[in-house]
Amino acid sequence: MKNDFQLMAVKTWHLLFMGSIPALANEYSVERWNNPEKEAYLSLYQKVGEPWGWTGRLLISPEALQQKLNSLVNEVWLFSLKNELLGFFEIDRLVTGRAEIVYFGLLPEMVGKGHGKPFLDAAIATASGYNCDQVWLHTCEYDHPNALEIYQKAGFVIEKETLEQEYYSIDFIKSRT
């Protein structure tokens, strides 16, 4: 499978939330997707993540993915408006008191329609629960061009900037050059 992917250096920012915990806008809803089947999860993951080159969940074995999805410290949340799915976010609570927003994305057809701020607010508010002292996430140069700025406006601060080795699909790399 890695033959369809290439390892490359990517600038990555690790951000820590230092703002005030936002409230969920009334018209939106967030629902935990408990123990999703890997096929359904991967379908949504690919729809949301393909424009940004997401590969993390594609490169692990089906067994490892299902184990991750069933883990008590991994949470998948669906974000909707009037019962229409807009996107999802995933939270990792492996470290006590810390929550990482591992994945966060809208369906491509929902990008640019004003859902981003309420979506981020929902992810922050959800991640902040369960006796959480720190919420953090990372973004990279291949995510949405406004991602870093949006995260900073929401109250995240850059903790560090790194150059990381990540796998990207060959098709994604070709589309960026």
| Reported confidence tier of residue 130, pLDDT bands at 50, 70, 90 | confident
Measured between alpha carbons, how far is 42 from 40 in angstroms, rounded to an integer?
Answer: 6
Query: What pLDDT sits at residue 1?
Result: 47
Residue 79: Cβ within 10 Å count? 26
CB-based burial of residue 48 (10 Å sphere; 0-12 exposed, 13-18 middle, 19+ buried)?
Answer: buried
Residue recorded with tokens 């993915």: 65
Query: What pLDDT sits at residue 8?
Result: 94
Query: What pLDDT sits at residue 2?
Result: 54
Question: Is residue 129 predicted with pLDDT exceeding 90?
Answer: no
- Average of per-residue pLDDT values in the chain: 94
Range scoring the smallest mean pLDDT among 1-10, 52-61, 100-109, 114-123: 1-10
The percentage of residues in the chain with a pLDDT greater than 70, rounded to a whole number, is: 98
| Reported confidence tier of residue 3, pLDDT bands at 50, 70, 90 | low
Residue closest to 18 by CA, chosen among 151, 161, 162, 160: 151
CATH 1.10.1740.10 fits 2-176, yes or no: no
Question: Is residue 62 predicted with pLDDT exceeding 70?
Answer: yes
Domain boundaries, the chain: 2-176
Residue that wins the pLDDT comparison between 140 and 177: 140
